[in-house]
Amino acid sequence: MRTDWLIALPILIPLLACALSAALWGRARAQRVVTFVAAAALLLASAALVAATLEHGVIASQMGDWPAPFGITLVSDLLAAAMVAITALMYAATAVYAQAEDVERREAEGWHPLLAALVFGVCGAFLTGDLFNLYVWFEVMLIAAFGMLVLGGGREQLDAGVKYAVLNLLATTVFLIGVGMLYGLTGTLNLADLARRVPEVGNDGAVGAVAFLLLAGFGAKAAVFPLFFWLPAAYHTAAAPVAAIFAAMLTKVGVYAIIRVFSLVFVGSSEWIPWVLGGVAAATMVTGVLGAAAHWDIRRILSFHIISQIGYMLVGIAIATPLALAGAVLYIVHHIVVKANLFLVAGAMRRTGGSFALAHLGGLWRRDPWLGILFAVPALSLAGLPPLSGFWGKLVVIQSGLEGGAAWLAAVALAVSLLTLYSMLKIWMEAFWKEPPAGEAPPDLGGTTRLLMLGPVVALALVTLTIGLWTEPFAALALAAGEQLAGREAYIAAVLGGGAP
């Protein structure tokens, strides 16, 4: 298939799904078919994209056939392709899981088009090679996420939705100011072109300030310290499938943008970049994990762990050697799968035990050992225990820290991983080991609900185990992606050197 199609398809498939399911409003059965077909198609398309990117290296497609940098370019390198593939996986998992519980009401309020729109925005953000276009995708995600957050909304969801929207709008505004300024300094928006022109600006102070404006805009999306307030305000109110796809994708798009822009455009633009990134990484890891320690509600605990683990990814970006970037890539891929899965399992735990509050849970290990195992796989992976996926990400990040002269970051990362383990133990001991509280427990998960809920969970757990045990191809991919990111030339050549036919 032509690379032009391959790059555009991951954006167009969810788009068509969104438009069709909006047009099929009120016809839930048809909407479901659209969503499932789209998820399957996206999985295939993203697999093809990964294959093509592995085969040809960085590939690009010029939208509207206008030569770069005058139009908008879509670019797929290994990182982008991998992210799209993992997004497809999340789309499928969430779509299936959402059928298990409360589905009619959610569908009546627009679940299918909103989910597709979110995926559309996420894929667009991963594939775009244009800074302003990235802003557009951020907007798509923001509005779709807002809609999903207030689905079926009570007072709590609305409060969360407002905070989410206001704080994220501030972030996107800062991002937009940054884009404007950068255009004012360089006269271009194409990332590859920016990479060439930024060093020639000759106004390093302004470039440095713009770099940090963009960092702040992306960082707020990624929920880094001290810009993360929206995340703990919002995630714990969302339904399990919504929280799962949010936890998987939203912050990671911010991290992706930081990687993309800071490995491509602002390389060496300011001496402060590694320090700010490193400091933010450490503070993010620590504050996140401490926030988790302070809470006794599964969803809140999990939300704070997202923040904490964003810090790990930033460590990789701060060190910025090919190995460190590879570590960040590996960590992101692992984290998306694991974090989404934990939220999905948490939903199943609530269904079985009747609550998200640890105080009201107990005895699940005796009641449903499979649920326990399915919780343990992502939980231990999150804590970085071998031989699960999280161990490898952590290992590479720490190794790059020790080799890249940032031993202190490695030390913080290790300490935080111990606290993460502690936090997962807390959930395990309270929800699974402790005697169940008095009172009648909800009925066991059974029949179709069990299948719909635990099916995606099993699938994602298998991915975690696969990455854990059959690590080599993933490590190879991550290292190749790290090389590509640190190398830059392949990307710039693919975009500006007539990459499109």
Which residues 299-318 are close enough to bind another protein by CB under 8 A?
A: 304
Binding piece for another protein, criterion CB under 8 A, among 15-23, 240-248, 345-353, 447-455? 15-23
Site membership for another protein, residue 208 (CB under 8 A): yes
Cβ closest to another protein, residue 367 vs residue 449: 367
Question: Closest separation between CB of residue 126 and another protein, Å?
Answer: 14
Distance CA 73, CA 497 (A): 12
Please report how the helices 28-56 and 111-127 are oriented relative to each other, as an axis angle in degrees rounded to 10. 10
User: Interface with another protein by CB under 8 A: which range of 58-66, 79-87, 336-344, 448-456?
Assistant: 58-66
Is residue 408 a contact point for another protein (CB under 8 A)? no
Question: Do residues 407 and 345 make contact, with C-beta atoms less than 8 angstroms apart?
Answer: no
Residues between 428 and 487 that touch another protein (CB under 8 A):
429, 432-435, 471-472, 475-476, 479
- In the list 39, 93, 215, 257, the residue contacting another protein (rule: CB under 8 A) is 215
Residue 146 as a binder of another protein (CB under 8 A): the answer is: yes
How many chain residues bind another protein (CB under 8 A)? 140
The secondary structure of the chain in percent helix, strand, coil, rounded to multiples of 5, reads 80, 5, 20
Asked if 497 is part of the footprint of another protein (rule: CB under 8 A), the reply reads no
Q: Which range in 60-68, 246-254, 335-343, 446-454 contacts another protein by CB under 8 A?
A: 60-68
Nearest residue to 176 via CA among 216, 228, 144: 216
Q: Please state whether 498 falls in left (phi above 0), alpha (psi between -120 and 50) or beta.
A: left
- Dist CA 149 CA 145 (whole Å): 6
Using CB under 8 A, which of 38, 84, 94, 124 touches another protein? 124
- Would you give the binding string for another protein spanning residues 165-204, x where CB under 8 A is met? -xx--xx--x--x--xx-xxxxxxxx--x--------xxx
DSSP states along 156-182: HHHHHHHHHHHHHHHHHHHHHHHHHHH
Which residue lies nearer to another protein by CB, 299 or 456?
Answer: 299
What is the identity of the amino acid at 185?
Answer: L
Name which of 63 and 456 has its Cβ closer to another protein: 63
Q: Does residue 41 touch another protein according to CB under 8 A?
A: no
Best CA proximity match to 76, nearest among 94, 95, 51: 51
Residue 8 makes contact with another protein by CB under 8 A = yes
96-104, 256-264, 314-322, 409-417 -> range binding another protein (CB under 8 A): 409-417
Provide the CB-side half-sphere exposure for 34 (13 A, CA).
25
Q: Which is nearer to another protein, 249 or 456 (CB)?
A: 249
Q: What letter would DSSP give residue 439? A: S
CB of 55 to another protein, least distance (A): 19
CB-wise, 39 or 134, nearer to another protein?
A: 134
Question: What's the min distance (Å) between Cβ of 65 and another protein?
Answer: 4
Interface segment toward another protein; rule CB under 8 A; list 37-45, 224-232, 338-346, 438-446: 224-232
How wide is the angle at C-alpha 485 spanned by C-alphas 482 and 488, nearest 5°?
A: 145
- Dist CA 27 CA 20 (whole Å): 11
Interatomic CA distance for residues 45 and 38, integer angstroms: 10
> How many CB atoms within 10 Å of residue 407?
12
Cβ proximity of 495 and 408 under 8 Å: no
Backbone phi, psi, residue 61, to 5°: -140, 130
Closest CA to 259 of 84, 52, 481, 9: 481
Q: Quick one: 394 or 456, whose CB is closer to another protein?
A: 394
Question: Within 83-122, which residues bind another protein (CB under 8 A)?
Answer: 108-110, 113-114, 117, 120-121
Secondary structure of residue 362 in the 3-state scheme: coil
Nearer to another protein, 291 or 347 (CB): 291
Residue (71 or 449) nearer to another protein, CB = 71
The reply on whether position 29 binds another protein by CB under 8 A is no
Closer residue to another protein (CB): 205 or 447: 205
